[in-house]
Amino acid sequence: MLPKLFFAYFAVVIVGTSILVITRKNPIHSVLWMLVLFVHIAALYLFLNAEFLAAIQIIIYAGAILVLFLFVIMLLNLKREEMEKRFQKQWPLGVFAGMVFIVFLVLILSQIVVFPQLGPYSIQAIQSEGNLMTVGKVLYTEYLLPFEITSVILLVAIIGAVVLAKRKVN
């Protein structure tokens, strides 16, 4: 009962803050509600016994990406945005599309069958070895190639940023 109650709290807050994020006039307030949202998502990861993911969620999303959002918002002059209407004319259409998507999602989720036997990474197996160790081992053995490809893509992005930022020296 208690876990369900906690989950209900987190689910309601996540949905509520998501709506607040898109309806605030001031972009800084939007970012702040998003921070609340990210912290609650991290708490959901803790419920799933994924403490490593929870920590990473806070460090990367709340600690780095959102701060960059704040920077960009502060450096742009957004006075005009605050005066304008929040939503475009098409918003009823958007709500309709969202509703259709939710119906599909519910239909799909109700079809999910939990397999009789779970994979090697059951909760007990992960807890005996530690979350960090399990993720590390899987990442560097089974999923080495995708992991390296991701690193290369990030490296390309870094080099691209440097090239764009660098002035030409004559």
Report in angstroms how near the CB of residue 122 gets to other proteins at its nearest. 17
Nearer to other proteins, 71 or 91 (CB): 71
- The number of residues in the chain equals 170
Report in angstroms how near the CB of residue 59 gets to other proteins at its nearest. 5
Report in angstroms how near the CB of residue 167 gets to other proteins at its nearest. 16
Q: How far does CA 106 lie from the centroid of its chain?
A: 21
Residue 146's H or E segment, with its range, is helix 144-165
Nearer to other proteins, 98 or 136 (CB): 136
List of residues contacting other proteins (CB under 8 A): 26, 28-29, 32, 35, 51-52, 55-56, 58-59, 62-64, 67, 70-71, 74, 130-132
Report in angstroms how near the CB of residue 43 gets to other proteins at its nearest. 12
Give the end-to-end CA distance of the chain in Å, rounded to a whole number: 70
Nearer to other proteins, 74 or 99 (CB): 74
Nearer to other proteins, 100 or 154 (CB): 154
Nearer to other proteins, 14 or 55 (CB): 55
Report in angstroms how near the CB of residue 6 gets to other proteins at its nearest. 13
User: Comparing C-alpha atoms, which of 5, 25, 29, 2 is closest to residue 17?
Assistant: 29
Give 22-31's long-range contacts (Cβ < 8 A, gap of 24+): 23/86, 25/82, 25/86, 26/82, 27/73, 27/78, 27/81, 28/70, 28/73, 28/74, 31/66, 31/69, 31/70, 31/73
User: Comparing C-alpha atoms, which of 14, 114, 41, 28 is closest to residue 73?
Assistant: 28
Task: Spell out the residues 6+ positions from residue 138 whose beta carbon is closer than 8 angstroms to its own.
Answer: 121
